[in-house]
Amino acid sequence: MRRIVVSEFVTVDGVMQDPGGSEGYARGGWAFKFERGPEGDKFKWDELEAADIALLGRVTYEGFAAAWPGRTGEFADKLNTMRKVVVSTTLKNPSWNNTQVISSNIPAELAKLRDLAGSADILVAGSGQLVRELLQDGLVDELRLMVFPIILGDGKPLFTKPLDMSSWRLVESKPVGGGVLTMVYQPAKNQS
Protein backbone atom coordinates (compact mmCIF):
# COMPACT_ATOMS: atom_id res chain seq x y z
CA MET A 1 0.00 0.00 0.00
CA ARG A 2 1.23 3.48 -0.84
CA ARG A 3 1.82 6.10 1.82
CA ILE A 4 0.24 9.54 2.00
CA VAL A 5 3.07 11.91 2.92
CA VAL A 6 2.21 15.46 3.95
CA SER A 7 4.96 18.05 3.50
CA GLU A 8 4.52 21.55 4.91
CA PHE A 9 6.46 24.76 5.31
CA VAL A 10 5.51 26.25 8.69
CA THR A 11 6.64 29.07 10.93
CA VAL A 12 7.66 28.61 14.56
CA ASP A 13 4.14 29.68 15.55
CA GLY A 14 2.58 27.10 13.19
CA VAL A 15 1.48 29.38 10.34
CA MET A 16 1.45 27.72 6.93
CA GLN A 17 -0.21 30.51 4.93
CA ASP A 18 1.52 31.84 1.83
CA PRO A 19 5.13 30.77 2.36
CA GLY A 20 6.00 31.79 -1.20
CA GLY A 21 4.27 35.18 -1.23
CA SER A 22 1.97 34.60 -4.19
CA GLU A 23 -1.36 34.58 -2.33
CA GLY A 24 -1.57 38.27 -1.47
CA TYR A 25 -1.23 37.69 2.30
CA ALA A 26 0.42 40.78 3.86
CA ARG A 27 2.99 38.63 5.66
CA GLY A 28 3.49 36.18 2.80
CA GLY A 29 6.83 35.20 1.32
CA TRP A 30 8.30 34.36 4.71
CA ALA A 31 9.96 31.13 3.54
CA PHE A 32 12.19 33.06 1.15
CA LYS A 33 13.67 35.14 3.98
CA PHE A 34 15.78 32.13 4.98
CA GLU A 35 18.30 29.97 3.19
CA ARG A 36 17.47 26.28 3.52
CA GLY A 37 20.84 25.28 2.06
CA PRO A 38 21.83 22.21 0.04
CA GLU A 39 20.56 19.85 2.76
CA GLY A 40 17.16 21.55 2.77
CA ASP A 41 17.01 21.36 -1.01
CA LYS A 42 17.91 17.65 -0.82
CA PHE A 43 15.13 17.10 1.77
CA LYS A 44 12.58 18.59 -0.67
CA TRP A 45 14.01 16.73 -3.69
CA ASP A 46 14.07 13.37 -1.90
CA GLU A 47 10.40 13.60 -0.94
CA LEU A 48 9.40 14.61 -4.47
CA GLU A 49 11.54 11.90 -6.03
CA ALA A 50 9.92 9.25 -3.78
CA ALA A 51 6.43 10.22 -5.01
CA ASP A 52 4.62 9.69 -8.27
CA ILE A 53 1.32 11.34 -7.34
CA ALA A 54 0.83 14.89 -6.05
CA LEU A 55 -2.38 15.15 -4.00
CA LEU A 56 -3.53 18.76 -3.74
CA GLY A 57 -6.40 20.93 -2.61
CA ARG A 58 -7.83 23.38 -5.14
CA VAL A 59 -6.15 26.55 -3.84
CA THR A 60 -2.67 24.98 -3.76
CA TYR A 61 -3.29 23.34 -7.14
CA GLU A 62 -4.20 26.69 -8.71
CA GLY A 63 -1.07 28.31 -7.29
CA PHE A 64 1.16 25.45 -8.47
CA ALA A 65 -0.53 25.31 -11.89
CA ALA A 66 0.12 29.02 -12.37
CA ALA A 67 3.80 28.76 -11.36
CA TRP A 68 5.33 25.39 -12.22
CA PRO A 69 4.53 24.81 -15.92
CA GLY A 70 6.71 27.78 -16.84
CA ARG A 71 9.71 26.58 -14.84
CA THR A 72 12.53 24.30 -15.87
CA GLY A 73 15.00 22.09 -14.08
CA GLU A 74 14.89 18.69 -12.43
CA PHE A 75 12.38 19.64 -9.71
CA ALA A 76 10.03 21.40 -12.14
CA ASP A 77 10.32 18.58 -14.70
CA LYS A 78 9.32 15.99 -12.09
CA LEU A 79 6.40 18.04 -10.75
CA ASN A 80 5.15 18.96 -14.22
CA THR A 81 5.13 15.39 -15.52
CA MET A 82 3.89 13.49 -12.46
CA ARG A 83 0.24 12.65 -11.89
CA LYS A 84 -1.72 15.29 -10.00
CA VAL A 85 -4.93 14.54 -8.11
CA VAL A 86 -6.95 17.54 -6.89
CA VAL A 87 -9.63 17.27 -4.23
CA SER A 88 -12.21 19.92 -5.08
CA THR A 89 -15.93 20.36 -5.53
CA THR A 90 -15.46 23.53 -7.59
CA LEU A 91 -12.58 22.82 -10.02
CA LYS A 92 -14.03 21.56 -13.28
CA ASN A 93 -11.45 21.87 -16.06
CA PRO A 94 -7.89 21.57 -14.75
CA SER A 95 -5.34 22.94 -17.19
CA TRP A 96 -2.12 21.44 -15.83
CA ASN A 97 -1.21 18.18 -17.60
CA ASN A 98 -1.82 14.83 -15.88
CA THR A 99 -4.44 16.27 -13.54
CA GLN A 100 -7.48 14.39 -12.23
CA VAL A 101 -10.15 15.96 -10.01
CA ILE A 102 -11.86 14.08 -7.19
CA SER A 103 -15.08 15.84 -6.22
CA SER A 104 -17.21 13.17 -4.56
CA ASN A 105 -16.82 10.01 -2.49
CA ILE A 106 -13.44 11.40 -1.46
CA PRO A 107 -12.46 8.86 1.24
CA ALA A 108 -13.17 5.95 -1.12
CA GLU A 109 -11.26 7.61 -3.98
CA LEU A 110 -8.27 8.25 -1.70
CA ALA A 111 -8.38 4.61 -0.58
CA LYS A 112 -8.19 3.60 -4.26
CA LEU A 113 -5.13 5.82 -4.73
CA ARG A 114 -3.40 4.21 -1.75
CA ASP A 115 -4.16 0.76 -3.13
CA LEU A 116 -2.65 1.39 -6.57
CA ALA A 117 0.18 -0.93 -7.54
CA GLY A 118 3.63 0.32 -6.65
CA SER A 119 5.33 1.72 -3.62
CA ALA A 120 5.83 5.37 -4.57
CA ASP A 121 4.44 7.93 -2.15
CA ILE A 122 1.43 10.18 -2.62
CA LEU A 123 2.78 13.64 -1.74
CA VAL A 124 0.61 16.42 -0.31
CA ALA A 125 2.08 19.93 -0.20
CA GLY A 126 0.32 23.00 1.16
CA SER A 127 -3.41 22.24 0.86
CA GLY A 128 -4.27 23.12 4.47
CA GLN A 129 -7.95 22.18 4.39
CA LEU A 130 -7.20 18.86 2.68
CA VAL A 131 -4.41 18.09 5.18
CA ARG A 132 -6.74 18.70 8.12
CA GLU A 133 -9.31 16.32 6.60
CA LEU A 134 -6.64 13.68 5.95
CA LEU A 135 -5.43 13.97 9.55
CA GLN A 136 -8.98 13.76 10.89
CA ASP A 137 -9.60 10.62 8.83
CA GLY A 138 -6.31 9.01 9.94
CA LEU A 139 -4.96 8.93 6.38
CA VAL A 140 -1.57 10.59 6.92
CA ASP A 141 1.28 8.08 7.01
CA GLU A 142 4.04 10.63 7.40
CA LEU A 143 4.13 14.32 8.32
CA ARG A 144 7.19 16.21 7.08
CA LEU A 145 7.66 19.74 8.40
CA MET A 146 10.17 22.34 7.37
CA VAL A 147 10.02 24.85 10.23
CA PHE A 148 11.30 28.34 9.43
CA PRO A 149 12.71 30.52 12.24
CA ILE A 150 10.09 33.24 12.14
CA ILE A 151 7.02 34.09 14.20
CA LEU A 152 4.34 35.83 12.16
CA GLY A 153 1.80 36.29 14.95
CA ASP A 154 -1.00 36.08 12.39
CA GLY A 155 -2.07 33.88 9.49
CA LYS A 156 -3.66 30.51 8.86
CA PRO A 157 -2.12 27.83 11.05
CA LEU A 158 -1.65 24.24 9.95
CA PHE A 159 -4.16 23.03 12.54
CA THR A 160 -7.27 25.24 12.59
CA LYS A 161 -10.15 22.94 13.39
CA PRO A 162 -10.64 20.58 16.29
CA LEU A 163 -8.91 17.31 15.49
CA ASP A 164 -9.00 14.07 17.40
CA MET A 165 -5.94 13.77 19.57
CA SER A 166 -3.24 11.56 18.06
CA SER A 167 0.32 10.69 18.98
CA TRP A 168 3.21 10.94 16.56
CA ARG A 169 6.78 9.75 16.82
CA LEU A 170 9.71 11.77 15.57
CA VAL A 171 11.72 9.65 13.14
CA GLU A 172 14.10 12.32 11.87
CA SER A 173 15.07 15.91 12.60
CA LYS A 174 17.85 18.03 11.21
CA PRO A 175 18.76 21.71 11.11
CA VAL A 176 19.44 22.93 7.57
CA GLY A 177 20.52 26.20 6.04
CA GLY A 178 20.00 29.37 8.07
CA GLY A 179 18.14 28.04 11.08
CA VAL A 180 15.49 25.97 9.28
CA LEU A 181 14.58 22.67 10.93
CA THR A 182 13.31 19.61 9.07
CA MET A 183 11.23 17.14 11.06
CA VAL A 184 9.64 13.87 9.99
CA TYR A 185 6.86 12.31 12.07
CA GLN A 186 4.94 9.07 11.71
CA PRO A 187 1.82 8.02 13.60
CA ALA A 188 2.71 6.33 16.89
CA LYS A 189 1.64 2.70 17.06
CA ASN A 190 -0.46 3.31 20.17
CA GLN A 191 -2.62 6.32 19.43
CA SER A 192 -3.87 8.19 22.47
Domain ranges for the chain: 4-187
Instruction: Decide which of 164 and 151 is more confident.
Output: 151
At 15-30, the pLDDT tens digits run: 999 999 888 899 999 9
CATH level 3 topology of 4-187? Dihydrofolate Reductase, subunit A (3.40.430)
Rounded Cα gap, residues 34 and 179, in angstroms: 8
pLDDT tier at 1 (50, 70, 90 boundaries)? confident
- State yes or no: pLDDT of 133 exceeds 50: yes
At 61-112, the pLDDT tens digits run: 999 999 999 999 999 999 999 999 999 999 999 999 999 999 988 888 998 9
Per-residue b/e over 42-58, b at no fewer than 16 CB within 10 Å? ebbeebbeebbbbbbbb
Give yes or no for a contact between 140 and 24, defined as CB atoms under 8 angstroms apart: no
pLDDT tier at 192 (50, 70, 90 boundaries)? very low
- State yes or no: pLDDT of 190 exceeds 60: no
Q: What is the pTM of this model?
A: 0.93
- State yes or no: pLDDT of 181 exceeds 90: yes
- Residue 105's region, left for phi above 0, alpha for psi from -120 to 50, else beta, is left
